[in-house]
A and B are shown apart, each in its own frame.
Chain A
Amino acid sequence: MTCFNKKYVSLMNKVLDDEATKSERDELFAHLATCENCRRHFQELKQSTELLNQLVHPQLPIDFTKNVLEQLPAEKRHAIRKWTSRHPFIAAAAVCALPMSLIVIAAGRQNMVQGKTDRDRFILLKAPENRL
């Protein structure tokens, strides 16, 4: 059973919230010194929240973070985008390199084919002489 004066309940809340002024504190404690019910009530309020503070903070398993990461959408696409934004010239060069190399290869082949036919023609032309 508490003292039915609401004023003291609200003072208790202010004190517990750390929002009471010095005079409000003094007023409450002066009352608590004379009113056993309020004193007990205040004590109980303080105790119950202090108990909450004593609860242990349990730790998660070590692989918790790893497990979370495994469930995220894949990073790959982003990784490429990130890399290209950091190295725009290399990326541009890489993009250009593909058609360029195709051209170079194609040109090389054409030369080779050209060379071969020239050589063939030469051999064909030369062949009879060799046989003689």
Chain B
Amino acid sequence: MDQKEKRLIKKVKKGDHQAFAELVDRYKNSVYTICLRMVGSREEAEDLSQEAFIRAYNHISQFDSDRNFSTWIFRIATNLSIDSLRRKKPSVSLDAEIPGTEGLALNTILPGGETPPDEQIVRDETEKWIQHEIGELPEKYRSAVILKYIEDLSLKEISEIMNIPVGTVKTRVHRGRELLRKNMKASRGEEDDML
């Protein structure tokens, strides 16, 4: 961890909000990406990211300053996402089909207004398909694959985040990768059959 970050942590431990704001700004987008790819919904991912930072602040006394803050906050984010997946409260996704309607999604009937640029994500079919395929992975493979291929973290970093040996991370990445290949191939095959 760099010296600046160490100083920030020291200040945060004394209750300095401004120092914490700097840490949030440093890691918020990575945290958001992890949550988003884990749960697949932007609103939920935003809530989870917020919760992750609030938890980090409230438990900062337990954080060992000799370790990386990124590892710690990514672990909190991953665990919160997994918890939320397990609670499995059916979340309302804007592009999910409303039951009992033929292909009618909430985002087609909600008043539009100005479309935020982020909405393009929802529109992007490829993006949606990839996200769907990630969501098909069991959560332990999913988190490993996300940290490896979306966050570009090393196996060692992932092992620290997930608190499992490097060998186990490797196995999960391999299995996740293989499963992703298989599922993507299958869903592509279906598409080809329809054509």
Chain A residues whose C-beta falls within 8 Å of the C-beta of B53 in the assembled complex: 68
Cα distance, A72 to B121, chains bound together (Å): 31
Given the known interface contacts A45-B177, A68-B24, the answer about A58 and B118 at a Cβ–Cβ threshold of 8 Å is yes
Give which listed residue, A48, A55, A61, A82, contacts B180 with CB less than 8 A: A48
Cα distance, A78 to B150, chains bound together (Å): 38
The closest CB in chain A to the CB of B118 belongs to A58
Cα distance, A56 to B184, chains bound together (Å): 19
Contact (Cβ within 8 A) B118 A68: no
Give which listed residue, A52, A64, A72, contacts B149 with CB less than 8 A: A52
Chain B residues whose C-beta falls within 8 Å of the C-beta of A44 in the assembled complex: 181, 184-185
The closest CB in chain A to the CB of B130 belongs to A51
A110 at the interface (CB under 8 A from B): no
Cα distance, A48 to B118, chains bound together (Å): 24
Bin chain B's interface residue count: 35 or more
Cα distance, A52 to B177, chains bound together (Å): 10
The closest CB in chain A to the CB of B131 belongs to A55
Q: Mark A108-132, 1 if CB is under 8 A from B, else 0.
A: 0000000000000000000000000
B143 at the interface (CB under 8 A from A): no
Given the known interface contacts A56-B121, A75-B17, the answer about A17 and B149 at a Cβ–Cβ threshold of 8 Å is no
A34 at the interface (CB under 8 A from B): no
A53 at the interface (CB under 8 A from B): yes
A37 at the interface (CB under 8 A from B): no
Chain A residues whose C-beta falls within 8 Å of the C-beta of B37 in the assembled complex: 55
The closest CB in chain A to the CB of B184 belongs to A48
Contact (Cβ within 8 A) B57 A72: yes
Residues of A31-87 whose CB lies within 8 A of B: 41, 44-45, 47-49, 51-61, 64-65, 67-69, 71-73, 75, 77-79, 81-82
B20 at the interface (CB under 8 A from A): yes
Given the known interface contacts A48-B180, A59-B29, A64-B46, the answer about A82 and B127 at a Cβ–Cβ threshold of 8 Å is no
Contact (Cβ within 8 A) A73 B58: yes
Q: Say how far B107's CB is from chain A's closest CB, in angstroms.
A: 16
Chain A residues whose C-beta falls within 8 Å of the C-beta of B146 in the assembled complex: 52
Contact (Cβ within 8 A) A58 B33: yes
Chain B residues whose C-beta falls within 8 Å of the C-beta of A48 in the assembled complex: 133, 177, 180-181, 184
Contact (Cβ within 8 A) B54 A45: no
Given the known interface contacts A49-B149, A65-B24, the answer about A71 and B54 at a Cβ–Cβ threshold of 8 Å is yes
Q: Say how far B44's CB is from chain A's closest CB, in angstroms.
A: 13
Chain A residues whose C-beta falls within 8 Å of the C-beta of B28 in the assembled complex: 60, 64-65
Contact (Cβ within 8 A) A65 B21: yes
Chain A residues whose C-beta falls within 8 Å of the C-beta of B14 in the assembled complex: 78, 81-82
Contact (Cβ within 8 A) B149 A53: yes
- Identify 11 residue pairs between A and B in the complex whose beta-carbon atoms are under 8 Å apart, listed by A's number: A17-B173, A44-B184, A45-B178, A47-B181, A48-B133, A48-B177, A52-B150, A56-B127, A64-B50, A68-B54, A82-B14
In addition to A41-B181, A55-B150, A65-B21, 13 A-B residue pairs with Cβ atoms within 8 Å of each other are A16-B177, A44-B181, A47-B181, A48-B177, A53-B149, A53-B150, A53-B152, A56-B124, A58-B32, A58-B33, A60-B28, A64-B49, A68-B21
